[in-house]
């Protein structure tokens, strides 16, 4: 395995920390790097700063065996894995500032011969950008394998794991490895082979960048189709979930599920990177984003219609997470719906039930008419029950509790 013994993982978030832990559990000496001292300290105590099944056990094991350490300073290493955020800016183009900061921390440590892997979901060209920046910072080094200078090998290997199943999918998913050179791709493939049991697919860096974006856009377009069908079905007075279930009996049809909108930090973001790369030719991808982004407003209109003539009504909002059975509220359409609803219906009281959190996010603490209560209390007090997340806890609810309530079920779990 090309002599890589020490790996520095830059960014110990939802992807970097699991990757660091799984590499360390498979005999690689891993130094995790993060700008947040509290995360670094927690990891060095063998603790994890966020919830992901089985992650805590692997981190604790790797730290206690001395294979995983965390620090705020990037060390010298045989390979670097960059797993930092790539959010979008207000104009919906990618913000590469975290990648640039990672490059600035890596550059002084390079001696020549190292492998640098970009794992962060990135717009086309970002891997080349990172590589070019590294050699700008270190003109004594080269990206050309034939160069007489010390060579830096740069590859893109996008993560594709599903939150909630990260520790399983890291091992079992296939991986796409895109090298700026064939040598870089092969070095990256060999490193991931240490823990990855899926197939390794070698390509160039830009194709690898696009492949990741395309996977998430494919899902976004499919969900947009489902969301559009949900609006049409409402107008036609038919049950969209029955409709989709029936259509999906066709052997070549597989429509995803409608909901209150698309959340999280991946599917609602990544398609914009494709749009930014070629705005003229990405009409379908842009429209899917707009269709999904419009769904929360449609849900709010439905609730407002029901509340309409009773300005002091109580609305129970069930769920805040961006999807089922997790505690992650980032970019959650449920949070946006509760916020906008509480502002639009000022006299209304909104009782939120979210079994996965213990306090309301700051954005919902500001309006005075939102409170976090138990599911039973929210429903008992409510005139209108708005189901936003298909948590198991809500699926198993005794639906007799809903008798006499007006119900907006955005996930179709109580049909
Ligand atoms: N959603 C629907 N209807 C559906 C499926 C999902 O409305 O039928 C909504 C969810 O409620 C949620 C959003 O879409 O708000 C996104 O959820 P998700 O489960 O589809 O995806 P993520 O964001 O948790 O993870 C995705 C995954 N990508 C694909 O499945 C193609 C994951 O494999 C990626 O690694 C991850 O993005 C990422 O990091 O990019």
Residue ranges of domains in the chain, CATH in brackets: 6-198 (3.40.50.720), 251-409 (3.40.50.720)
pLDDT, mean of residues 109-136: 97
CA-based R_g, the chain, Å? 24
Q: What pLDDT score does 367 carry?
A: 79
For the cut 70, the answer to whether the pLDDT of residue 264 exceeds it is yes
Ligand 1 nearest atom to the CA of residue 160, by list position: 35
- Confirm if 327 and 51 have CB atoms less than 8 A apart: yes
For the cut 70, the answer to whether the pLDDT of residue 2 exceeds it is no
Q: With b meaning 16 or more CB within 10 Å and e meaning fewer, what string describes 336-345?
A: bbbbebbeeb
What percent of the chain is predicted at pLDDT more than 70?
A: 100
For the cut 70, the answer to whether the pLDDT of residue 107 exceeds it is yes
| Ranges 342-346, 371-375, 392-396: which has the least confidence | 342-346
Q: Determine the distance separating the centroid of ligand 1 and the alpha carbon of 163, expressed in angstroms.
A: 9
pTM of the model: 0.94
Confidence of residue 262 (pLDDT cuts 50, 70, 90): very high
267 close to ligand 1 (CB < 6 Angstrom): yes
pLDDT tens digit sequence for 196-236: 999 999 999 999 999 999 999 999 999 999 999 999 999 99
Within 8 A by CB and 6+ apart from 37, the residues are: 72
Catalytic residue, candidates 69, 266, 295, 323 = 266
Closest CA to 59 of 32, 79, 91, 36: 32
Q: Determine the distance separating the centroid of ligand 1 and the alpha carbon of 410, expressed in angstroms.
A: 17
Phi, psi values for residue 283, rounded to 5°: -65, -45
CA distances from 10 to 74, 81, 119, 229, 263 (A): 8, 6, 10, 42, 25
pLDDT tens digit sequence for 14-73: 999 999 999 999 999 999 999 999 999 999 999 998 888 999 999 999 999 999 999 999
What percent of the chain is predicted at pLDDT more than 90?
A: 93
Rounded Cα gap, residues 324 and 364, in angstroms: 20
**Residue of the CA atom closest to atom 27 of ligand 1:** 162
Active site residue 266: yes
Ligand 1 nearest atom to the CA of residue 322, by list position: 15
Residue 311 burial by CB count (10 A; 0-12/13-18/19+): exposed, middle or buried?
exposed
For the cut 70, the answer to whether the pLDDT of residue 1 exceeds it is no
For the cut 80, the answer to whether the pLDDT of residue 311 exceeds it is no
Confidence of residue 244 (pLDDT cuts 50, 70, 90): very high
106 close to ligand 1 (CB < 6 Angstrom): no
Mean pLDDT (the chain) is 96
Of residues 347 and 195, which shows the higher confidence score?
195
Phi-psi label, residue 412: left if phi above 0, alpha if psi -120 to 50, beta otherwise: left
């Amino acid at each position: 395995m090309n002599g890589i013994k020490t790996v520095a993982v830059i960014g110990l978030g939802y992807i970097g920390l699991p990757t660091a832990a799984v590499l360390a559990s498979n005999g690689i000496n891993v130094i995790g790097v993060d700008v947040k001292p509290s995360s670094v300290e927690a990891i060095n105590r063998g603790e994890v700063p966020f919830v992901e099944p089985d992650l805590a056990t692997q981190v604790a094991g790797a730290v206690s065996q001395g294979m995983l350490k965390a620090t705020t300073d990037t060390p010298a290493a045989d390979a670097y894995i960059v797993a930092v955020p790539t959010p979008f800016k207000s104009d919906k183009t990618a913000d590469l500032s975290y990648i640039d900061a990672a490059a600035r921390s890596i550059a002084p440590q390079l001696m020549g011969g190292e492998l640098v892997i970009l794992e962060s979901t990135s717009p086309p060209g970002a891997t080349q950008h990172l590589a070019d920046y590294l050699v700008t910072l270190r003109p004594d080094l080269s990206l050309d394998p034939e160069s007489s200078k010390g060579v830096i090998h740069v590859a893109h290997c996008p993560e594709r794991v599903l939150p909630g199943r990260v520790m399983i999918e890291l091992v079992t998913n296939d991986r796409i490895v895109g090298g700026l050179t064939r040598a870089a791709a092969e070095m990256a493939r060999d490193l991931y082979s240490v823990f990855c049991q899926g197939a390794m697919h070698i390509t160039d860096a830009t194709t690898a960048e696009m492949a990741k974006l395309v996977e998430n856009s494919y899902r976004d377009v499919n969900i947009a189709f489902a969301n559009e069908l949900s609006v049409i079905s409402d107008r036609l007075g038919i049950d969209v979930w029955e409709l989709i279930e029936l259509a999906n009996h066709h052997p070549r049809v597989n429509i995803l599920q409608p909901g209150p909108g698309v959340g999280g930090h991946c599917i609602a973001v990544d398609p914009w990177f494709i749009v930014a790369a070629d705005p003229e030719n990405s009409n379908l991808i842009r429209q899917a984003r707009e269709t999904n982004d419009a769904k929360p407003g449609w849900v709010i209109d439905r609730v407002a219609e029901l509340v309409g003539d009773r300005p002091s009504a109580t609305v129970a909002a069930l769920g805040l997470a961006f999807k089922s059975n997790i505690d992650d509220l980032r970019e959650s359409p449920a949070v946006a719906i509760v916020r906008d609803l509480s502002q639009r219906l000022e006299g209304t009281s909104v009782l939120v039930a979210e079994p996965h959190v213990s306090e309301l996010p700051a954005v919902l603490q500001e309006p005075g008419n939102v409170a976090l209560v138990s599911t039973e209390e929210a429903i008992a007090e409510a005139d209108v029950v708005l189901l936003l997340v298909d948590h198991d806890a809500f699926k198993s609810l005794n639906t007799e509790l809903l008798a006499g309530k007006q119900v907006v079920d955005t996930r179709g779990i109580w049909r």
